Structure 1
Amino acid sequence: MLVCNHVGKTFGRQEVLKDCHFHLKRGEIIGIMGKSGSGKSSLARLIIGLDSPTCGSIHFQGKNYTPKDGRAQIILVFQDALSSVNPYFSIEEILNEAFYGKKITFELCQILEAVGLDGTYLKYKARQLSGGQLQRVCIARALLLKPKIIIFDESLSGLDPVTQIKMLHLLQKIKRRYELSFIMISHDPKICQAICNRVFLIKNGYLVEDNEFLKRACSTNCLTNL
């Protein structure tokens, strides 16, 4: 479905990503892990077309795609929820802003309840919510769009452990129902261990598949070995 073919990215004189290559199958969940500043988010921006690779290519469903094409099929849920919404919009407006017509209130209430909120939040302004609550709204918005691929860039990091578990179960359910594929960008080995089929590590700009990660993730924090 998605292939990153020997992709590299340079900002000025800094080579952030080097010869990154991976593929994502339909219905698969892969994890991308690495230390802060390792290039995880830069790779996500390349995949959705916010930035262009310095070298290499990215193919979606067998074709090169433009940023416009990528955004139509691939959604990124950002780490900083507040920066991705208008703080003066109501939650109802945020959930509806991607649609030509409004979703009915019942549907919006259902998706909010799935991420641990309820229908009363529809009238709240984004600036009235906590960081964790707003991140749940952003995840709900992504699920409503029903794309082919959703990239979660540290999107669960602002949630408490109980809600994280609920969200992981929800994501699995949505993935199966709509045959979605996910890319989980995270610094938390437990999140990747819980949901991912395969895990890649970014080290010194290179993306390396770690076939042993899922076996050892429960007993050690592999980030200390990067």
Structure 2
Amino acid sequence: MAFVDIDLGVKGVKAFYTTRTGGFSDAPYDALNFAKHVADDKKQVAQNRALISQHCQNAKTAWPKQVHGSSVCDFERVYQKPDQIAADAVVTTQAQAICLVQTADCLAILLASQDASKVAAIHAGWRGLLAGVIENTLDYFNKPSIAYIGAGICQKCFEVGEEVRDLFIAKAPNYTKAFIASKRAQHYQFDYKLVAREILKKHNIEILDSQLCTCCDTSAFFSYRKEGETGRQITAIMKV
């Protein structure tokens, strides 16, 4: 179950995500870790990354350096310098060019045009959501028609401080509904998938929500909040 295909209902687009099983890495990165920025053995990471080519018939793969920001980059620029170009979203019109993001609780969001002319992958933690990474990626599309929200930490697992709540409500008062008071004073359970859905709905985009929680299911997914030192899974999309 290492690679799980996603049906977006768009002809000419392939999308998939990975679980943590079926790779070469040792604990605590066991087993299918794709991240080079953690302390995993680089040779084992390379072996894991090579499995993507097998799954996608040797398509090209771009590896952005994710910084929890709002920058969007063209596939080719990231492809030329893997793990070096700071970007939290990758977009392309090329065929056989895999746009992907790595996550271990943050949201992975995929976008596709209905005519399959353009695709994108977005890494959206709470900082990226606040900074506008989804909106910035949508600016690259004339009219993206479908979005897929991948595995990410759910509301009951995601506690944040009052300062985070205040930042989101300052951006949009209706985001109040994304927060429920926690058992700890001045802390809240944050539904950041709700915020992502609200942004996408404003652009009349059809949304497919995986409803998967990385923190609830660490047998299938890496979760930084639950595990601390751990690996990263990927969520990916390409034109075929």
Fold shared, TM-score > 0.5 on shorter chain: no
Relative contact order: is structure 1 or structure 2 higher (C-alpha 8 Å, sep ≥ 6)?
1
Question: TM-score under structure 1 normalisation?
Answer: 0.30
